[in-house]
């Protein structure tokens, strides 16, 4: 199995290139191996979300290459890129992005339907995920009836449904209270340890930074620091349905 999940080479994203160029990302080299639990940090406008979107194939760089698990996604056509993202990358967004008319179960199952997974396998996988996030009793509840912490847990389950190569989380705790944020981080830390799942966060949240085992600081679109940290990912007992 390839140990390298993400390799970016000379990656740049430029706005207004014909007038006054603004480098959102400027010549970034980044290497992430399987099983990492890494936080991208930096001031607002430093390029964290832009870099996450580039690595996730939601945007294309103006220069450089992005290799995910051996595939250069900058060379993929639109249809192939969509298929690649569906099979290999899980996304967790700050705003949850759950489909309001679907139940929690249906939101998680939706990815598996797109992949053509059989009904039996879908049921088994969804049940397992809801056990992992501690929301078995909320599977048939719509997002509007869930707390912010519960919605974000469902969003994490949806990100994991396809068994992705890695998970990109953009400010996943920004809208959560302290208990909900701790619960969510415990879930992701447990999956990281037990299933060797790779996580890359974009965050301002000190709670996330303290749990990361590697912290990469961006300033003006460049990597200013890349630091390994002490492993503090010891999950606490989940607080039920907080």
Task: Judge whether 43 lies within some domain.
Answer: yes
Task: Judge whether 240 lies within some domain.
Answer: no
Q: Residues with Cβ < 8 Å from 211, sequence gap 6 or more?
A: 37, 185, 189, 232, 233
Task: Judge whether 85 lies within some domain.
Answer: yes
**What integer pLDDT is reported at residue 218 of this predicted model?**
96
Task: Judge whether 235 lies within some domain.
Answer: no
Task: Judge whether 234 lies within some domain.
Answer: no
Strand pairing category for 37-41 and 198-202: parallel
Task: Judge whether 69 lies within some domain.
Answer: yes
Burial track 163-194 (b if 16+ CB lie within 10 A, e otherwise)? ebbbbbbbbbbbebeeebbbbbbbbbbbbbee
Task: Judge whether 190 lies within some domain.
Answer: yes
Listed residue (17, 36, 18, 10) closest to 168, CA to CA: 36
Burial track 203-221 (b if 16+ CB lie within 10 A, e otherwise)? bebeebeebbbbbbbbeeb
CATH number for the domain harbouring residue 105: 3.40.50.300
**What integer pLDDT is reported at residue 241 of this predicted model?**
44
Task: Judge whether 27 lies within some domain.
Answer: yes
Q: Which domain holds residue 175?
A: 4-228
**What integer pLDDT is reported at residue 233 of this predicted model?**
59
Number of domains in the chain: 1
pLDDT averages per 10-residue partition of the chain, 242 residues: 86 87 94 96 93 95 95 95 92 88 94 89 91 90 93 90 89 86 88 90 93 96 89 51 43
**What integer pLDDT is reported at residue 17 of this predicted model?**
75
């Amino acid at each position: 199995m390839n140990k390298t999940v993400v390799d970016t080479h000379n990656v740049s994203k430029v706005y207004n290139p014909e007038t006054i160029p603004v480098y959102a990302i400027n010549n970034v080299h980044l290497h992430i191996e399987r099983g990492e639990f890494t936080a991208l940090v930096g001031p607002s406008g430093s390029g964290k979300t832009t870099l996450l979107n580039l690595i996730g194939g939601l945007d294309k760089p103006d220069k450089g290459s992005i290799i995910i698990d051996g595939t250069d996604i900058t060379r993929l056509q639109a249809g192939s890129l969509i298929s690649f993202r569906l099979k290999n990358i899980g996304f967790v967004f700050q705003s949850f992005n759950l489909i309001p008319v679907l139940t929690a179960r249906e939101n998680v199952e939706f990815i598996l339907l797109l992949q053509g997974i059989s009904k039996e396998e879908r049921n088994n996988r969804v049940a397992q995920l809801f056990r992992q996030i501690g929301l078995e009793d909320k599977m048939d509840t719509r997002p509007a009836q869930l707390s912010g912490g519960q919605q974000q847990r469902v969003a994490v389950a949806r990100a994991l449904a396809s068994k992705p190569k890695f998970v990109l989380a953009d400010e996943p705790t920004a809208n959560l209270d302290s208990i909900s944020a701790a619960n969510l981080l415990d879930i992701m830390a447990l999956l990281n340890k037990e299933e060797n799942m790779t996580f890359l966060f974009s965050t301002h949240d000190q709670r996330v930074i303290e749990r990361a085992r590697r912290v990469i600081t961006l300033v003006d679109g460049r990597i200013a620091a890349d630091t390994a940290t002490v492993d503090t990912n010891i999950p606490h007992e989940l607080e039920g349905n907080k």
